[in-house]
Structure 1
Amino acid sequence: MHLTNLLGNEKNALMVRLKLAKADDASRAAAPEQIKKVALRLFAEKGVDGVTVREIAAAAGQKNHGAVGYYFGSKEALVRAIVMDGAVALDRERNLALDLLEEKGGPRAIREVVDIVIDPVLGLPDEHYVQFILLFAMTHREMMMDALDPAWNSAYGRCLAHLRRFMPHLPPALQNQRFIFMGAYISAVLSARQRALADRSRDHPMWGSEGTLEHFKQSLGALLEAPVDLSPDMLAGIGRRDMGMPEPPSPVG
């Protein structure tokens, strides 16, 4: 009986150790995602330069202050991973939407392209990504563009190609400028919206309204379709090789 009890106790102890080991494995597997989630929020609030890796680790509940280095190698590598997570998600959703429309012979109007550009951003699971990208692009533009694999920004280029078909009244240089305006407009408006909705201290009825989003999309379409009234000298200036050239877009736009 004593031997049976002893064996039973050892078996139970082994089961406990296995469960603890599995729990540790699950915790280690979840740690990088938690670190990215916390870092994204902090970067959106304070900027990349305003947050230390120790602050990120502590906010993510990591006892080891070197957790960022352990899981990502460096702060810069963590930033790059966050940029790419959003870029991959946006590119995937936009390409899927474009594929569906093109199979049906579309898109047939600027508004359909606007929806494809905007809706995936609204559907991002983290509310801080747009604000992070806007701030990051302002302070570390070269680093952001270097972090982006062009293969994961193909859908935006497809959207621009479709938009050009609907803007034959504009020469290429003016089309390019409209796309620059569009990118700045999308980033600024959606960043302001996300920043407001992330504030739980009070209601933000304007930013939470479906009507606001609809108005935003309509105004973006109007920006793209608006007629132009510029003098020949102005048009010639914009048409110079060093003016009106669109920069590579951020993941948002």
Structure 2
Amino acid sequence: MSALPPPAAATRGGTTRHELKRAARRLFAERGIAAVGMREVVEAAGQRNAAAVHYYFGSKDDLLRELLIDGADQIDAGRATLIDSAESKGAAMTLRDLVSATILPGLELSAATGESETYFRFIVNVQNERRELFRATVPEHSESYRRYMDHVHRLLAPLPAALVKQRILFAGLTAQTLLAAREAALDRSDTGDHHFWSRPEALAGMIDAVEAILASPPRG
């Protein structure tokens, strides 16, 4: 027996919720966090009820947390799958395997509520303006990132732990910045294609750059 369709009101509510999330993430991505008011989110989503954000999400911080988790869960799942594959190689695992596991999931975000369009620019702005909220929210949804860090520390064991930690930070910021730049370029395109960022060489170059930060020999 097939399931009964949801009531019309529930369907409309789900659509409204998605529209609000898509509109909010885009505004936060393009203008920053503090500069965007909830009334603007409601208007951008084409809603008439000024209290719609409060009704569906609660506070602005609650909305930010949900937007962060939406993308973080997708990325974490994709990264976990790629790290599983790298671990299956045993001693043959490489830094490149791990770097690929941190970058490739960011290219495959779902567009259900606009994650593929604006997520990386959004998280850059959250980290710049609301770093404590980011730190309190995302780590719980990034278990595979801890696995990534453990493997990098192991593969770079001859280097001082403090230096490896610094490189992981720099590599992560670089990957995030590159993904945000790619996202912005594709978002501006009418076709979803870009003469540079859509090319396989650009993806290989991103992985090369992040791998080089981790693997370069120390100086001095």
Give TM class, smaller chain. 0.7 to 0.9
Query: Which structure's CA Rg is the greater one?
Result: 1
Match for residue 58 of structure 2?
A: 73
Which of 165, 168, 176 is equivalent to 2:157? Answer: 168
State, as a whole percentage, how many aligned pairs show the same letter.
Answer: 35
Deviation at 1:201, TM superposition (A): 6.4
Structure 2, unmatched stretches of 5+, are 111-115
Match for residue 68 of structure 2?
A: 83
Following the alignment from structure 2 to structure 1, what is the Cα–Cα distance between the partners of residues 109 and 155? 28
Match for residue 102 of structure 2?
A: 117
Match for residue 147 of structure 2?
A: 158
Q: How does 1:142-157 map to 2 (within 5 A)?
A: 142-148=132-138, 150-157=139-146
Distance 1:96 1:204, change over 3 A: closer
Distance 1:36 1:180, change over 3 A: same
Please report the TM-score for the alignment, with normalisation by the length of structure 1: 0.77
Secondary structure at the residue paired with 2:117? Answer: coil
Retained in 2: the 8 A contact 1:88–1:152?
yes
Following the alignment from structure 1 to structure 2, what is the Cα–Cα distance between the partners of residues 217 and 197? 19
Q: Which residue type is aligned with residue 118 of structure 1?
A: I
Deviation at 1:135, TM superposition (A): 1.4
Retained in 1: the 8 A contact 2:28–2:36?
yes
- Aligned residue pairs total 210
Q: Does 1:63 align with 2:48?
A: yes
Please report the TM-score for the alignment, with normalisation by the length of structure 2: 0.88
Q: How does 1:240-251 map to 2 (within 5 A)?
A: none
Match for residue 205 of structure 2?
A: 215
Following the alignment from structure 1 to structure 2, what is the Cα–Cα distance between the partners of residues 204 and 138? 27
Following the alignment from structure 1 to structure 2, what is the Cα–Cα distance between the partners of residues 216 and 227? 19
Deviation at 1:115, TM superposition (A): 0.8
Q: Does 1:141 align with 2:126?
A: no
Secondary structure at the residue paired with 1:112? Answer: helix
Retained in 2: the 8 A contact 1:44–1:128?
yes
Retained in 2: the 8 A contact 1:107–1:162?
no
Q: Does 1:225 align with 2:211?
A: no
Structure 1, unmatched stretches of 5+, are 1-18, 231-253
Q: Which residue type is aligned with residue 102 of structure 1?
A: E
Following the alignment from structure 1 to structure 2, what is the Cα–Cα distance between the partners of residues 153 and 159? 10
Superposition CA RMSD, Å: 2.0
